[in-house]
Amino acid sequence: MNESPRTPMHREDSLPVDNQRVLNGRYELGGLIGRGGMADVYRGTDTRLGRTVAIKLLRPDLARDPQFQARFRREAQAVAALNHSSIVAIYDTGEHTVPDGSAESVRVPYIVMEFVEGKTIRELIRANSVTIAQAIDYCLGVLAALEYSHKAGIVHRDIKPANVMYCEGSDSVKVMDFGIARAMADSSATMTQTQAVVGTAQYLSPEQARGETVDARSDLYSAACLLYEMLTSRPPFIGDSPVSVAYQHVREIPEPASSVNPDVSPALDSVLAKALQKNREDRFQDAAAFRRALRAARSGIPVMAVPASEAPTDPNDYVPAAAPATQAFAATGASFLDDAPTGRLAATSAYPDRGTAAVPAAEEEDPAPAPLPLGFAPESERSTRQTSRRRAWIATLVVVTLLVLAGGGLWLYNTVNRPAPIVQVQIPAVAGMTESAALQELYKADLPPRIVRMQHDTVAKGTAIGTEPASGALNPGTEVVLNISEGPSAVKIPESLPGKTEAAARDMLRQSGLVGAPSTTTANSATVPAGIVITTSPAPGQMVGVGTTVELVVSTGKVAVPELRGRTREEAEAALKELGLVPNVIEVENGQVEAGRVTDQSDAVNAAVEQGKTVSIVVAKAPPPPPSPTATPTPTASPTKRG
């Protein structure tokens, strides 16, 4: 039995997630908001539509079990077609690859659903904050959701306080967790493949506890248990183990709710008494009738009690009807057909003290018969022969009449009970539909599908290829093979991978049917920021087989400094600018090196530096020429005067 309690699905518990993951390139995981028996629920963001969603991920340790995967997918299929204000909506489904340390990664399915702010009914009950009026309103909301799902052919099978949420903003309730829901047409609707009963013991209907098939009335029983607990703060049956509680559901009558909570009215007691009947024929036959009775009880109008002449409360307690009284017949075989002229009848066993044969009145007083002529029998002998012949004819007539009546009755029985001819259904055309839509079409046609996945070069992954048989008419309930495409056998490495983050690139590879290498290769780049994909190996645009491992080359955001010494100033500056580095030239006089040559650099050769860093280079500058020596003035001869 599904006895483990579940954490409320859409309540913010603010458990952070260290590594943000992107599902299907669209849904970004946030904090953990709920943990259940087989799945974890995260708050997420639909990056395409910009809305907050709840993402339900099957636990990786259960993802390898086909039964859990089938149950998880069945929840999405059951709720996908339901669109009601009191049912949590399903937006999308898919699979997310999670490495588990082995050679193969685990493909974990997920469901994207409506994010609901509120508290579960279980939390409200534990806080003793549910009034009688609120209990009736909450139950009416649950019944409205059940009425809608039952009309769609879906039985929830696990109605309980933890699966109903109250939204304070809209003052409404939401029914969630269709994890064990089944279609009404499913003949094994209460059993798993291991023949174990599913459901929660405190809210289990008697037919579920006995392992019988369930229908809409089983959900109504569980809803009555929910109403009982809201009114009394305890379920109708409490035991030491799930088995003992299930036994009480089958055999025992719950205490009236008014005996636990005196504020409960007799009208509400009458509604619960009818809704908690062991025999489903004695309960409300649909959610609409339950809702009408609950509204009437709110006004003080009780429900009519189940007549004592109807079927027993427990179908297992069969009481045979009393056998009708029979009449005793004479041991001598005297019959009502005996019409002897004497008019004397044999005595019956109603007078056992008188014996089994009667003596005719005054027989002993009759004189001896007179002698007859030769050849004539006495009159008494002729009367005996006539009576014998008459009896023989009457017996023959009775036998013939009985045979005719028996033959006519047999013919009439065969005519009336002749099975109606089976009306066949047409196989719907599902080629080109999504897997979820194709499943819904086949279930609507009462043709249970068996999914077969195969490679296809032209049909996208997750799209229906068609059915086997492809068309025609079949008897309802016939299994049909649904072929789902796994994508082409050879795929092209996306050319848009360069420039993506590593997480986004890995998700694109998964969607293309490829696998990202477990380890990431890093490389320096002058232009690509840190953490962004530079290229892949094999290169983007190449055709590779499905499932090929692709290595991602991610930028470190750094640049290796080249050797600049010995180069000219112009060559060194060009080399630095090509790598996105900023040159800082320092000129130093150097008479040993040719002017304009780099003699030193601030960062070592091949040192990894951040993009755009300033690198200083020392450039030789020619020293100024030495000053020329001072010239001695030559004396000028004075002109000789002549007289």
Residues 28 and 106: their CA atoms lie apart, in Å, by 19
8 Å CB contact between 1 and 204: yes
Report how far residue 245's alpha carbon sits from residue 202's, in angstroms, rounded to the nearest whole number: 6
Element (H, E) at 464: strand 464-468
Q: Which residues contact 500 (CB under 8 A, 6 or more apart)?
A: 508, 532, 533
Residues 480, 467 contacting (CB under 8 angstroms): yes
- Measuring CA to CA, which residue among 167, 166, 169, 149 is closest to residue 157? 149
CA distances from 279 to 205, 221, 302, 620 (A): 10, 10, 20, 105
Helix (H) or strand (E) holding 503: helix 502-511
Residue 399's SS3 state is helix
**Are the C-beta atoms of 233 and 255 separated by less than 8 Å?**
no
Return the axis-axis angle of helices 216-232 and 266-275, rounded to nearest 10°.
150
- Single out the residue of 550, 545, 539, 602 nearest to residue 576, CA to CA: 602
Q: Which residue has the tokens 């809702």?
A: 291
The answer to whether residues 532 and 554 touch, using CB atoms and an 8 Å cutoff, is yes
- What is the layout of strands, in order, in the sheet containing 172-175? 119-120, 164-167, 172-175
The string of DSSP letters for 278-342 reads SSGGGS-SSHHHHHHHHHHHHTTPPPPPPPTTSS-SSTTS--PPPPPP-----TT---TT---TT
**Of residues 18, 100, 137, 158, which has the active-site annotation?**
158
Residue 158 among the catalytic residues:
yes
Supply φ then ψ for residue 58, to 5 degrees.
-65, 140
Consecutive H or E run containing 494: none
Tokens read off for 2: 């599904």
In order of 103, 328, 329, 435, the CA distances from 348 in angstroms are: 93, 7, 6, 80
For residue 536, which phi and psi values (nearest 5 degrees)? -135, 165
Amino acid symbol at 172: S
Q: Helix 287-298 crosses helix 132-151 at what angle (to 10 degrees)?
A: 160
- For 581-620, letters b (16+ CB in 10 Å) and e give bebeeeeeebeebeeebbbebbbeeeeebebebebebbbb
Please give the positions annotated as active site: 158
